[in-house]
């Protein structure tokens, strides 16, 4: 029997951290679907046609570290607005969602389009300023020298594109639990997400 947790939200909302923690605490597999779009975006930056890049993508060969850059994030957001790119990535996401033992998928359209039947849906958000500050700290820790204002502009641009596209726009599913992490610690945000998963019938490990 499958058990799917769908976690959506904008960039740097904390959904990645929350998804990894939920997966670990409930013994579920985890798929960061943003990495699929980032991989397609990176291939486009290398000169490949984005639709071909999506149709020939091998998720096993994704190199996460190389994809966590601001340029790749913007490219990902651009290719994600192309309906044929999204269509090419549906099957791999749905197959993962049905894996035995259960799964957590995080992205922008998991609760609305990829897994509308998910047992648990969360929409994780935070103010643009808080998210930009988190992303800026992350980038600085990795040695990327970039101004906070630039990161904030980047976050806003990506939000507008991801929420404004016509195909599978980022939005909260009507039945998703809203989790605003602006003033929460990581521990508090994770605890609230885990409480929602438990309320929906998830079994904690151990």
Distance CA 76, CA 53 (A): 12
Min. distance of Cβ 179 from ligand DC in angstroms?
Answer: 16
Q: Nearest-CA neighbor of 179 among 11, 4, 3, 18?
A: 18
Q: 103-142 mask for ligand DC (x: CB under 6 A)?
A: ----xxxx--------------------------------
Min. distance of Cβ 206 from ligand DC in angstroms?
Answer: 29
Closer to ligand DC at the Cβ: 25 or 77?
A: 77
Closer to ligand DC at the Cβ: 164 or 204?
A: 164
Q: Provide CB contacts within 8 A for 94, sequence distance 6+.
A: 114, 115
Q: Is residue 162 within 8 Å of 10, Cβ to Cβ?
A: yes
Hey, how many other C-beta atoms are within 10 angstroms of the C-beta on 83?
Answer: 12
Total residues binding ligand DC (CB under 6 A):
15
Residue ranges in contact with ligand DC by CB under 6 A: 11, 33-34, 37-38, 73, 76-77, 80, 107-110, 158, 162
């Amino acid at each position: 029997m499958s058990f799917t947790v769908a976690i959506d939200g904008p960039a740097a909302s904390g959904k990645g951290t929350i998804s990894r923690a939920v997966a670990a605490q409930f013994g579920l597999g985890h798929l960061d679907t943003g990495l699929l779009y980032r991989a397609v975006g990176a291939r486009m930056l290398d000169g490949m046609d984005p639709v071909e890049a999506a149709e020939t993508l091998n998720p096993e060969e994704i190199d996460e570290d190389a994809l966590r850059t601001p340029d790749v994030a913007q490219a990902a957001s651009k290719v994600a607005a192309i309906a044929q790119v999204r269509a090419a990535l549906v099957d791999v996401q749905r197959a993962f969602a049905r894996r035995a033992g259960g799964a957590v998928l995080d992205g922008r359209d998991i609760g609305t389009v990829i897994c509308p039947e998910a047992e648990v849906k969360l929409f994780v958000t935070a103010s643009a300023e808080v998210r930009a500050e988190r992303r800026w700290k992350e980038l600085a820790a990795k040695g990327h020298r970039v101004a906070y204002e630039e990161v904030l502009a980047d976050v806003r641009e990506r939000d507008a594109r991801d929420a404004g596209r016509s195909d599978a726009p980022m939005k909260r599913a009507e039945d998703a639990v809203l989790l605003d992490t602006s003033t929460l610690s990581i521990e508090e945000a994770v605890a609230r997400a885990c409480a929602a998963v438990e309320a929906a019938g998830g079994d904690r490990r151990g």
